[in-house]
Structure 1
């Protein structure tokens, strides 16, 4: 991912906004099934636990949802409309300089449109942080680029800049 060579600023979000429209405000399901990533190293798990405590109660107008199994590595909003997993291994696409990325409030994100067989929607993955964090947004709710603003603030506060060895 080439965030260091051609960083995109918050101004790049209008391009994402073309792909995304206005988010619904319903809280969705009361619970979301979210498989946590494989157990990360202790230092990464600690960063994820700190992030978990700082995550907002609402993202893109959607209320936070209880995840099952409960884990400091996962969070969800609007049922499973927006799902976060912290402490994932480095995605292979992160090394591809041709991948699209955006920078929101100092947090770089790899942007991937998910294929129909994975339900459509989008996957955003943080880069240049000591813990990789993935956010999946279903196609019905992939409508508000402001969600990255909501999540970037918590990530910037809790997950330091750096290159994760995991």
Structure 2
């Protein structure tokens, strides 16, 4: 693994010392790169602290235990999750072919990641309307709903 650009940040040290021994039932693996973590044999969950914080996006955002994650499925079945509204940011790569649940892995990592300073949060369309002082229009109950929220 290669360390992220801001891996030496003191906030990443706080995350690193709090990383759990197991993630999604997988044991920890030794890494030799600063502010990184790996679980499974072969590694199914990889973490790097110190990646750039993502800008506002319309990509899917998932909130788990007060940590917001932007999901990047472009390399599926490898999914990349990056914290949103945390500086520095954490990136987690999960190999779904290994049978690891992304939600379980992110939940297990949440306590350590919560030590990063919170600088923002995901918002959805209703949140934006509230910020602008508008009221959401009534929705048709038969209409599909979004599975994630936009930023």
Q: TM-score, normalised by structure 1?
A: 0.65
Aligned to 1:95: 56
Structure showing the higher helix proportion among its residues: 1
- The secondary structure found in structure 2 opposite 1:146 is helix
Q: Aligned-pair distance for 1:130?
A: 2.0
Aligned to 1:15: none
- Contact 1:121–1:142 at 8 Å: present in 2 too? no
Q: TM-score, normalised by structure 2?
A: 0.71
C-alpha distance after superposition, 1:117-143 (max 9, x if no partner): xxx310111011121000001132353
Q: 1:124 aligns with which of 77, 81, 84?
A: 81
Aligned to 1:77: 39
C-alpha distance after superposition, 1:19-57 (max 9, x if no partner): xxxxxxxxxxxxxxx11112x286xx1110110000000
C-alpha distance after superposition, 1:141-163 (max 9, x if no partner): 3531211111111111x212116
Q: 1:55 aligns with which of 5, 9, 19?
A: 19
Q: Aligned-pair distance for 1:115?
A: 2.3
Q: Aligned-pair distance for 1:73?
A: 1.7
Extract unaligned runs of 5+ from structure 2.
121-151
Q: Distance in 2 between matches of 1:41 and 1:65?
A: 18
C-alpha distance after superposition, 1:68-115 (max 9, x if no partner): xx2332110014210000001234xx422x210110000000011132
Is the counterpart of residue 104 in structure 1 residue 64 in structure 2? yes
Extract unaligned runs of 5+ from structure 1.
1-33
The structure whose RCO (Cα within 8 Å, separation 6+) is larger is 1
TM-align CA RMSD: 1.8
Q: Which moved more, 1:133-142 or 1:52-61?
A: 133-142
Aligned to 1:151: 109
